Chains A and B, each alone.
Chain A
Amino acid sequence: MGGIEAVVSVNRADLAADLTGPAIPYDEMLTADGGVHPHYAALDARLATLTPEELAERQRTQERFFLLQGITFTVYGAESSTERIIPSDILPRIIPGAEWARVEAGLVQRLKALNMFLADIYSEQQILLDGVVPRELVLQAPSYRREMQNLYVPHKAYANVCGSDLIRQPNGEFAVLEDNLRVPSGVSYMLANREASRRVFPGTFRSAGVRAIDRYPDLLLSTLKSMAGNWRPNPQVVVLTPGVYNSAYYEHAYLARLMGAPLVEGRDLVVHDNMVYMRTTTGLRRIDVIYRRVDDDFIDPLTFRRDSSLGAAGLFNAYRAGNVMICNAPGTGVADDKAVYAYVPEIIRYYLNEDAILPNIETFLCREPAQLSHVLANLDKLVVKAVGASGGYGMLVGPHSTKAEQAEFADALTANPENYIAQPTIQLSTAPCLIDSAVEPRHVDLRPFILCGEKIVVTPGALTRVALRKGSLVVNSSQGGGSKDTWVLSETKGDAR
């Protein structure tokens, strides 16, 4: 055993100096004066007893666990394909109970309002008539589905599974960066990270009072069943996947397995007389609820994209006839559109007569001439995003961009202003991560998962995504991001004493 030098210590001096940004980021573990937040004290004490080798060994064990379980994504090359694991950091991110209670209340409020918004948009459109949200902004959004107009959706629950992206601002307050109401993924990583971190820090885990998240599959199943209403006893639920080549295939299979629901592909489905069936060894079997992990565009070649073979022909008509439920409903994307996002606080006030508990990030809509000229004048300071894109693509990060890139975006903005929004450069909080056997701060965000059927349920946990490259703010797994477990402590534990 080495001397004191060999023991891991959190590098406190580096923190502020290394990360340049508009403000010093909030650190999940360390306080501004270099102390440790009380809810991190136990983990800090445990880390001080481990050598870098021991930590590295635990990291390797965790990676092996992911590899063995096949929790991988595939990178396809010309000759052969390789499978990579999504990097998973062993140090948990810890959130005290009281703080979580506020996040939870904010998420419930937000999803409630957004589902009311969807119900309104696809029926009376009162909010548009009242001029709270611009009519053309909604009706011209590519994610708006005219086909959904005046359709009955049980409990008015359009978005049944939601994964919102939150960030913690420099002042320590959580804010919503994005709502994902289409086919949010990542929940399997939340569950797998938990399974792994219980093995890595069993003692710390036990004594911390971490709230359990393992009921997620069971809650998902009852949410889906609640969408079937009670017209058929014991509804048949299936998970619809685009197939084994989809990067989230592991998650589709994982959820199907844990829910005990068949994992079907488009080619397994047959629509006959507006009923949906799957081909089984004993003939055709009727399906009541489809948890689809296929985008709107691909679920039915007769209604949406004709060249798609991922869905089933006639599926949407069966849905219109009320013979099958599709979850999430088609057309929910209009409520997580990047331009509509700017109006969410207004939407919450309009339907619930409440102020938003979780704030938005300040957003400039380039469609408004005054805001456009502000954006054009400040391209070097703002982050510009294309409205339709996701996954960190089609983005200009002002402070890290060249003059040429800025000029290119200025042209695109002027030509097509309604296609873009801009936000100030946001500062993500940092959390301690294990990088090459040393504990260093890295930027993180937070993706909790919210279910909405008959009622709204927030799982007390989340996927914490990590930007593994030093100083990077991009947490997407397609761009060098990783993830880590998120411990939400029960209310009595871990709060400031």
Chain B
Amino acid sequence: MMLARVADSLYWIGRYVERAEHMCRLSDVMLNATLDRSEAATQVARIALHAVGDRNPAKALAPYQSALALTLDRSDRGSIFSSIAHARENARQVRDQITTETWERLNLIYLRMNNPGARKAFNDGSQLFLHDIIADLHLFKGAGDATMSHGEGWSFLQLGMYLERAQLIGSLLEVVFGERRRRRALADHFALTSVLRMSCALEPYLRVYTAEVQPRFILNFLMLDEDFPRSIRFCTHQIETHLAAITRHAGLSGNAGPERLAGRLKARLHFADMDELEAQGASAFLKTVLDECWDIHLSLYDAFVAYPLEDRLPA
């Protein structure tokens, strides 16, 4: 049993933290592209910007400025700063629910980014700056894992994280392999490895597929790999597990609302066939995945957070 508002906040901490981490990787890859003035570098910057929903072509030509804005722009609700600030604001509202160890990690990242010297620190060593944020976000997740009770609140936090991750990876794959790309497949080695870097998947990918970097393998790995924690299949498995835990805590019967949707999504990825996918084009499949993630989000609210009061009043 926990307050609906608290569950909501924990869920959003998970989402914002995951979003911040993903944006850090996109910024980092964009910065990497500034070192190289090739066509492929611009293409990579464009992919990263499309993945965050920014289709302005001018920005891809100024990757450093774009990365700086994506990191520290306070007025942009999608920037890393905003995500961290929102995560921390939510954490402050449920300060009694998360352990001091976990809170301290998140607060520290926020204080660093909110510091007037943050812009200078970014200019002095932008990749180090981003690297440190990612490392601290990992510490946050680790501190949570090691010190928080793995009960209902924990499940809401994890649920937010994995739903966000599934959606972020899904959007990235849609940009790379979606409808717009079908005619002109991404072939450049630098661009392909950059896509893997954006998903933090380069090293795990190499261990499975060796240095043979091919679009088909990347799609297979990021979508359907069973063990890689950023594959959509892995995420849907986690989403289903944590939803089942929440339903159990709530004393509700299974197969209701969000749990049914999560089970169906998990099965969809579990039994997906790569050849079939390629024949149909990945785009339709990715769209289904993203739509169903959104449906899970909505039904989660209906079931646990914003339910109609009339149904729950004592007789």
**A contacts, CB < 8 Å to B:** 67-70, 80, 243-244, 249-250, 253-254, 256-257, 262-265, 267-268, 270, 272-273, 275, 278-285
Contact code string B246-267 (vs A, CB < 8 Å = 1, else 0): 1001111000000000000000
Complex: A451 Cα to B7 Cα, angstroms: 32
Tell me how far the C-beta of A276 lies from the nearest C-beta in chain B, rounded to whole angstroms.
12
CB closest chain-A residue, reference B75: A79
Interface check B58, CB cutoff 8 A: no
Neighbouring A residues of B103 by C-beta, 8 Å: 69-70
Q: Is the CB of B5 within 8 A of A279?
A: yes
Neighbouring B residues of A273 by C-beta, 8 Å: 314
Complex: A257 Cα to B101 Cα, angstroms: 13
Complex: A148 Cα to B94 Cα, angstroms: 33
Tell me how far the C-beta of B122 lies from the nearest C-beta in chain A, rounded to whole angstroms.
17
Q: Is the CB of A280 within 8 A of B93?
A: no
Neighbouring B residues of A250 by C-beta, 8 Å: 95
Complex: A253 Cα to B111 Cα, angstroms: 20
Tell me how far the C-beta of A309 lies from the nearest C-beta in chain B, rounded to whole angstroms.
14
Tell me how far the C-beta of A70 lies from the nearest C-beta in chain B, rounded to whole angstroms.
5
Neighbouring B residues of A264 by C-beta, 8 Å: 3
Complex: A376 Cα to B108 Cα, angstroms: 54
Neighbouring A residues of B32 by C-beta, 8 Å: none
Neighbouring A residues of B252 by C-beta, 8 Å: 282
Tell me how far the C-beta of A279 lies from the nearest C-beta in chain B, rounded to whole angstroms.
4
Complex: A285 Cα to B1 Cα, angstroms: 9
Q: Is the CB of A257 within 8 A of B5?
A: no
Neighbouring A residues of B250 by C-beta, 8 Å: 281-282
Interface check B100, CB cutoff 8 A: yes
A-B CB contacts (within 8 Å), total count: 78
CB closest chain-A residue, reference B100: A69
Closest 5 CB pairs of A and B: A253-B95, A257-B96, A256-B96, A283-B312, A281-B304
Interface check B313, CB cutoff 8 A: yes
Interface check B74, CB cutoff 8 A: yes
Q: Is the CB of A68 within 8 A of B5?
A: no
Contact code string B213-244 (vs A, CB < 8 Å = 1, else 0): 00000000000000000000000000000000
Tell me how far the C-beta of B153 lies from the nearest C-beta in chain A, rounded to whole angstroms.
9
Q: Is the CB of B89 within 8 A of A244?
A: yes
Q: Is the CB of A281 within 8 A of B312?
A: no
Neighbouring A residues of B5 by C-beta, 8 Å: 265, 267-268, 279
CB closest chain-B residue, reference A265: B5
A-B contact pairs, 10 of them (CB 8 A): A68-B104, A68-B108, A250-B95, A253-B92, A254-B96, A267-B5, A279-B3, A280-B1, A281-B304, A283-B312
Interface check B35, CB cutoff 8 A: no
Interface check B279, CB cutoff 8 A: no
Complex: A285 Cα to B97 Cα, angstroms: 18
Complex: A80 Cα to B115 Cα, angstroms: 12
Q: Is the CB of A268 within 8 A of B3?
A: yes
Tell me how far the C-beta of B312 lies from the nearest C-beta in chain A, rounded to whole angstroms.
4
Complex: A273 Cα to B74 Cα, angstroms: 46
Neighbouring A residues of B4 by C-beta, 8 Å: 268, 279-281
Interface check B166, CB cutoff 8 A: no
Check A284/B312 contact, CB under 8 A, given A262-B3, A267-B5, A268-B4: yes
Neighbouring A residues of B108 by C-beta, 8 Å: 68
Neighbouring B residues of A68 by C-beta, 8 Å: 104, 107-108
Complex: A41 Cα to B267 Cα, angstroms: 73
Neighbouring A residues of B104 by C-beta, 8 Å: 68-69
Complex: A257 Cα to B91 Cα, angstroms: 13
Contact partner of A272 among B2, B152, B251, B314, CB < 8 A? B314
- Excluding A257-B96, A262-B2, A279-B3, 4 further A-B contacts by CB distance (< 8 Å) are A67-B111, A257-B97, A263-B96, A272-B314
Neighbouring B residues of A243 by C-beta, 8 Å: 93
Contact partner of B309 among A256, A265, A270, A275, CB < 8 A? A270
Complex: A207 Cα to B6 Cα, angstroms: 43
Check A281/B249 contact, CB under 8 A, given A253-B96, A256-B96, A267-B5: yes
Q: Is the CB of A80 within 8 A of B92?
A: no
Q: Is the CB of A280 within 8 A of B2?
A: yes
Complex: A86 Cα to B36 Cα, angstroms: 49
Contact partner of A281 among B2, B95, B313, CB < 8 A? B2
Neighbouring B residues of A282 by C-beta, 8 Å: 1, 249-252
Tell me how far the C-beta of B175 lies from the nearest C-beta in chain A, rounded to whole angstroms.
33
Q: Is the CB of A70 within 8 A of B107?
A: yes
Neighbouring A residues of B97 by C-beta, 8 Å: 257
Contact code string B291-315 (vs A, CB < 8 Å = 1, else 0): 0000000000000110101001110
Complex: A273 Cα to B3 Cα, angstroms: 21
Complex: A80 Cα to B74 Cα, angstroms: 9
Contact code string B200-216 (vs A, CB < 8 Å = 1, else 0): 00000000000000000
CB closest chain-B residue, reference A239: B96
Tell me how far the C-beta of A284 lies from the nearest C-beta in chain B, rounded to whole angstroms.
5
CB closest chain-B residue, reference A260: B96
Contact code string B1-34 (vs A, CB < 8 Å = 1, else 0): 1111111000000000000000000000000000
Neighbouring A residues of B314 by C-beta, 8 Å: 272-273, 275, 284
CB closest chain-A residue, reference B153: A281
Neighbouring B residues of A285 by C-beta, 8 Å: 1
Neighbouring B residues of A265 by C-beta, 8 Å: 5
Q: Is the CB of B107 within 8 A of A284?
A: no
